[in-house]
Amino acid sequence: MSLMRFLLIACFSMAFFSSRLVATEPGRQPNVILFVADDLGYGDISPYGGWIQTPNLERLAKSGVQFMDFHTSATVCSPTRAGLLTGLYQQRLGIPGVLLADPSRAEHFGGMASEHTTIAEVFREHGYRTAIFGKWHLGYQPQHNPTLHGFDEFRGFVSGNIDYQSHIDVMGREDWWLNKQRKPERGYLTDLISAHAVQFIQENAKRPFFLYLPHHAPHLPFQGPGDPADRTVGGKFPVAGSVKDRKRAYREMVQSMDQGVGAIMRVLKKQGIEESTMIWFFSDNGALRIGSNAPLRGYKAEDWEGGHRVPSIFSWPGHVAPRKTDALTSTLDVMPTVLDLAGIRYSGKTDGVDLSQLLLQGTAISKDRRLFWRGDQSHAWKGAAMREGPMKLVIEGGGNSRTRRPNIYLFDLSRDLGEQHNLAGQRPAEAKRMLGELSNWYKQVSEAQRN
Ligand SMILES: [Ca+2]
């Protein structure tokens, strides 16, 4: 072999080898997409036997793990998002309740503080391209902007709810952003989120990415894709929208989101990255009365199961076998789980559980798992609750109006999923012990915030 021929072959082999390295990199660093629905209930979508046909979510559920006992760490928007993005109970972050759009309220000024590490920051440190398209709701001030908390790109809104057509918040302000600037964009909100997601995937298909898609649907105002805008800048408008048939609008809102899920599944396939991308879809709290939490009791902002047990579907084709799981799980688990599945060691504190072995092998999680909830006395959500195995303790918010003492309930969810039979009187020692644990937990997480 001539020297020239040898060099040519060597160069070709090296080029081939390095291109193989580039080509296999997404396999070693899988992409992560988190879909978060807003106020979507346990009984809303068809994979859970719900009333709205969502064929794409059905396909996702059939291809992956469907969680039947998955909970949000709060029963309202902001605190669940704070917990989700940090893997910490939101009380530790000083975000126990909703961050309000009204600047005359103290709750307007809180938000994600820089000392807390977000999941996006960890992915970005490990070479991921990161983006959020949709609802932030973790602070209105410049220092709370998502681009300062790990996201390379942000398109969306910072408040709790906007008009789906005009993108105006409840105070009558424009609320649609490109990174740190207000930048209006035309289009139906849900479709905009999906379109930006598809474009981002096309642009970043050859590198690892973390894509956070907090949808607005089906949170109020109730507006389907064909319904008109209600809100104008500085105007007066019905907060929940002017549509008469709200049930129809709600259904269309959920179905638009489902179509977006389908569009994203198609682009992943087209780009050949279906098996190197994990998708997790869940809601941020239970539905209002217009939706359905069936067969659960209660609604958003309540501590009954309907307030915090939500649909949750994880899919990673080729890695995770399809099945349903009854494991007691939480939005707090998302960060430790997806980081581990992406091969990233995270040494920061977490209140979540790494579910990677549950997803990959079906390994059971510890029976000692406990979950806690507590609202904020200044907000709509005032109660508290605790789960331990099948047992659920609920402290009704506000207490009994005559005695001012809280109403205490104990349920065995394995027999009484609808929380109808209070066992607190029959099993006072158990109720007392759980009450003590709930109180200790709260002391711990609220002290963490003060220090
Ligand atoms: Ca919500």
Give the model confidence (pLDDT) of 73-122 as tens digits. 999 999 999 999 999 999 999 999 999 999 999 999 999 999 999 999 99
Tell me which residues of the chain have a pLDDT lower than 70: 1-28, 377-379, 398-405, 448-451
Identify the CATH assignment for 383-450 out of 3.30.1120.10, 1.10.1380.10, 3.40.50.10330, 2.60.40.10.
Answer: 3.30.1120.10
By CB atoms closer than 10 A (0-12, 13-18, 19+), residue 13 is exposed
The CA angle 382-416-73, to the nearest 5 degrees, is 35
pLDDT at 30: 98
Q: What is the CA(206)–ligand 1 centre distance, in A?
A: 33
pLDDT at 376: 83
- Output b/e per residue, 145-166; b: 16+ Cβ within 10 A: bbbbbbbbbbbbbbbbbbbbbb
Rounded to 5°, the CA angle 60-63-64 comes to: 85
Quote the pLDDT of residue 17. 33
Ligand 1 midpoint to CA 291 (Å): 12
What is the structure's pLDDT at 221? Answer: 98
Domain boundaries, the chain: 29-367, 383-450
Q: Quickly count: other Cβ atoms within 10 Å of residue 303's Cβ.
A: 26
Q: How far is the CA of 25 from the centre of ligand 1 (A)?
A: 36
Identity of the amino acid at 183: K
Nearest alpha carbon to residue 131 among 229, 199, 77, 51: 199
Q: Which helix (H) or strand (E) holds 316?
A: none
Residue 24: the pLDDT is 35
Closest-CA residue to 65 (of 448, 299, 323): 323
What pLDDT score does 450 carry? 55
Cα of 230 vs centre of ligand 1, distance in Å, is 21
Residues with Cβ–ion distance below 5 A, ligand 1: 38-39, 77, 284-285
Topology of the domain comprising 29-367:
Alkaline Phosphatase, subunit A (3.40.720)
Cα(133) to ligand 1 centroid in Å equals 16
What span, in angstroms and rounded, lies between the C-alpha atoms of 136 and 124? 18
Alpha-carbon span 40 to 29, nearest angstrom: 31
pLDDT of residue 186: 98
